[in-house]
Structures are given as structure tokens and as C-alpha cells.
Amino acid sequence: MRLGEPGSEIPAVRQSGTIFDLRPLTGDIDGGFWDSGVERTADALDAGDLAPLPDAELLRVGPPVARPMALLNIGQNYAAHAAESGSPTPTRPILFFKHPNTMVGPHDDIPMPRGATKLDWEVELAVVIGRRASYLSSPEEAIGHVAGYAISNDVSERDWQREHGGPQWSKGKSMPSSNPFGPVVVPAHEVDPQALRIWSTVNGEPRQDSTTADMVFSVAQLIWDLSQYLTLEPGDVINTGTPQGVALSGRFPYLQVGDVLELGIDGLGTQGSEIVAP
């Protein structure tokens, strides 16, 4: 975890309900942490070398990854979502990028973008890369490059995504605060990424409810595929796609100021954000 005000977050780790201060091990949970940080943290906890963080429960929860070099996103990676978007199921992973500065804490407000008319929610399983990945030989090799998993909300402005950016989607994906993230990164060895319930609500009403078993391309396949085209660095984040149940489907209204989102993935916690005025 990372706790505190934006730009001043304290690295921390939660174990059995207690939050410990990670500053004896690292200045932040950034790219340099992930290569061996999970193992060093476990060793320090076992040895009793970390002290509880005072008043941790009173601190803002920030995004649990600091300053990723890249925030990569996979489009239409659930067949039912592709169908509700009016698109065929992809035969290869669809890649687009969000600006890394869109990443905010899991409970931070989301300002309505100026001029937006079709703001949408998208709960996603996020993958945090732990080791550099380039030209990997197989999906089986690729899964070993994962440091952990988290909840991500790929907030999207659908008109900008479809009408303002040509064949690229990033104009509708990179608004300020458009990627609430966290509250935690759970180490990879504790998670089966293809067996997780994933869901969202708006103002307490159900929207998305699916399982990561329904992904078109598994986490391992995505990392292997991406590594053939680009080099993934420690701390990079991949949003792996969203299931059906978004406003783009036409079944639900788009978001308005005052709407409250809640999103969750089994074993990774929940997050909640309010849409606020620009």
C-alpha cells in the first residue's frame, strides 16, 4: 500500500489487518522496488523488523504503485463486453495507452471532464510487472514476470474515445484522475488471476458481475504477446480489460456529477469514487 497525501505517500504493507511502515526497506513502491521488494518485505515481516505505521487508518489511501513508466490497457478482452460494444471478439489483444498521470487513489474523487457527455466506468484486473519482459518465449514464462495484482477503474469518455481520436482510443481514456487504482497490490503467489469474481455498482445498483475466467486472453497470454512488441519494465501496469455491464451497452445511463462508484475483485479488496464537478 501507499498511504498519505498525493505526492507524499508512505510505502506500507498490510498483513493480518496490521499496516506496517515500509520506509526502512524502500523510499517508495516504484519500479526499483518490485524486482525483489516482495521477498524482502516478507523476510522483514517474518523477522519482526517492521513497525506498525501510526494512525495508518486515518491516512488517505493512494495508488499502491508509484509513477509507472507505462499504463497499458487491453480492449474488449471479455467476449460479452466486445458484443455489447458492437464489436466482434478480438483474435489478437487490442492495446491502447492511458497517460500514467491518470492513476489516483482508490477512493479519490473523479472530476467530470470539461465538456464530457458520455463518462463510463470499467472495473479491471490490473497486473503489476515485477521483472523486465522482452521477447518472452511462452505464456508459461510470462506469468513469472508478474509482481502482483490490483483493482483498476479504466474511466472512459466514450464520445472522445470513438469520435475524437480516429482509430486510437487514448483521447477518451486519459482525462485527469481517470484511473483509480488499488487499494492494494496483492503478491502474485497469492492470486489465481483467472479465477476471480469482478464486479461494479453505480449508486448501489449492480452493473458488472463476471469472472476473470471469461477473459478472451489470459494474463499470461497478454504479457507474452506484449513482450513481442515492447519491453515491459518493473512497475509497469497492465489493465486487462473489463466485462460486460458498462454504459456503452445502452442498458445504463452514463455517469453524472454526484454518482458514486464501487468496484471489487475477490481477494483484492474494493474501491469507491464519486463523480464531482469539473
Domains belonging to the chain, first-starting first, are 2-61 (no CATH), 65-276 (3.90.850.10)
Closest CA to 115 of 152, 75, 169, 164: 164
- Note whether 68 and 234 are within 8 A (CB): no
CA atoms of 94 and 75, how far apart (whole Å): 5
Coil/strand/helix, residue 75? strand
Residue 19 pairs in a beta bridge with 14
Give tens-digit pLDDT for 198-208.
999 999 999 99
Give tens-digit pLDDT for 27-36.
999 999 998 9
- Note whether 45 and 2 are within 8 A (CB): no
Nearby residues of 104 by Cβ (< 8 Å), 6 or more positions away: 6, 62, 63, 110, 177, 179, 180, 181
Closest CA to 103 of 65, 141, 136: 65
pLDDT of res. 228: 98
In this structure, the chain runs to a length of 278
| pLDDT for residue 164 is more than 90 | no
Give tens-digit pLDDT for 198-253.
999 999 999 999 999 999 999 999 999 999 999 999 999 999 999 999 999 999 99
- Note whether 167 and 94 are within 8 A (CB): no
- Note whether 159 and 119 are within 8 A (CB): no
